[in-house]
Structure 1
């Protein structure tokens, strides 16, 4: 249960205010689109993107140690932040 909460909060906080959320907000603001359809489509897209990340991560972890993955991910986040 702890892992579920940690992953949920990490992803939730990372997604707040990012370009995906802004795009979803703009779609929802369009009076010609159903808000429920926007919600369903955005949710499905995020679920599918997460599925791809999990599958890719599972494969990569077979050949790259978790400690190396953490360092590479950390450096990637620093590079993106600059």
Structure 2
């Protein structure tokens, strides 16, 4: 098994998720004394797995119509645009 794609996806997604609104929402839910920490963890993990699954399914279908090189360019431009928007917004 080639671990390079696994490592690249893991590191990219992990870094993208640290400190984002999803993590902050999870922190807020976990801070509620009435919520079980394990329940919050299970719900958040399930939601992230489902969202990733949708991404994999959509990406698999897109690849049939658009070349992987074009998808990489579009994703790269999208990440740059979001980064610029984040840096320039107040």
Smaller-chain TM-score range?
A: over 0.9
Q: Counterpart in 1 of 2:67? A: 65
| Equivalent of residue 51 in structure 1, options 53, 56, 72 | 53
Aligned counterparts of 1:35 and 1:8: Cα–Cα separation in 2: 24
Structure 1 position 10, deviation (Å): 1.1
| Equivalent of residue 31 in structure 1, options 28, 33, 53 | 33
TM-score in terms of structure 1 length: 0.94
How many residue pairs get aligned? The number is: 82
Structure 1 position 2, deviation (Å): 2.0
3-state SS of the aligned residue for 1:62?
helix
The runs of 5 or more residues in structure 1 that have no matched partner are none
Structure 1 position 74, deviation (Å): 1.3
Deviating 4+ runs (over 4 angstroms): none
TM-score in terms of structure 2 length: 0.86
CA-atom RMSD in angstroms: 0.9
